[in-house]
Amino acid sequence: MLEYYWLLRSVLRAKPHLRACLTRCRHCRIFFLTHPRNAGRHDLGCPFGCRQAHRKAGAAQRSADYYHSPEGKRRKSDLNQRRPRKYCAPRLPGGPPQVQSPKRRPAQPGQAQWPPAMVEHVRMVISLIEGRRISRRRVLEMLARVLRQLTIGRRRKIDQTVAWLNEEPP
Ligand SMILES: [Zn+2]
């Protein structure tokens, strides 16, 4: 968290024009950089979970509101009457159909899974900082590299502790 703010501050110091893009999450109050088209808005959710959580809640609420409206109730009863009492799915040769979302690519083994909203945020921020469009792929490569360095750093610390314990047993 502190590292995040430290990074954000150094980014803003290096790129003062991005200050206009600085906003605060209306749910958890964290500061974050938003896309220039949203500059100056203060009703946004952060990309670290709030935006997604509240979008989901909003959609559920809208759907509930709709089905409680007279129009929605009519539509629901129409749907219920149209639905056959018993429905047997037609059997397809070769087992159940593969359901695949078009956007998500299968994860490669050994690759960390990053929340897509988070990757998109990092991509947007790096693109803003560098002033050119950065691909999602580049961001994933970069995140993997950072994670690897963190792991190495952590391992080095553990090794040092073990070496120190060997030299000076408690
Ligand atoms: Zn938030």
Give the model's pLDDT for residue 22. 94
Whether 125 and 10 have beta carbons less than 8 Å apart is answered as no
**Ligand 1 centroid – CA 124 distance (Å):** 17
Ligand 1 centre distance from Cα of residue 163 (Å): 42
Which parts of the chain have pLDDT scores under 50? none
CA of 139 to the centre of ligand 1 (A): 22
Residue 153's identity, in one-letter code, is G
Give the per-residue pLDDT at 112: 59
Give the predicted TM-score (pTM) of the model.
Answer: 0.58
Ligand 1 center to residue 76 CA distance, Å? 35
Half-sphere exposure of 115 (CA within 13 A, CB side): 10
Distance CA 4, CA 10 (A): 10
Residue 87 confidence (pLDDT): 57
Residue 160: what pLDDT? 83
CA-to-CA distance for 143 and 134, rounded, in angstroms?
A: 13
Instruction: Give me the pLDDT at residue 45, please.
Output: 93
CB atoms within 10 A of CB 128: 19
Report CA(86)–ligand 1 centroid distance (Å).
45
What pLDDT score does 52 carry?
Answer: 84
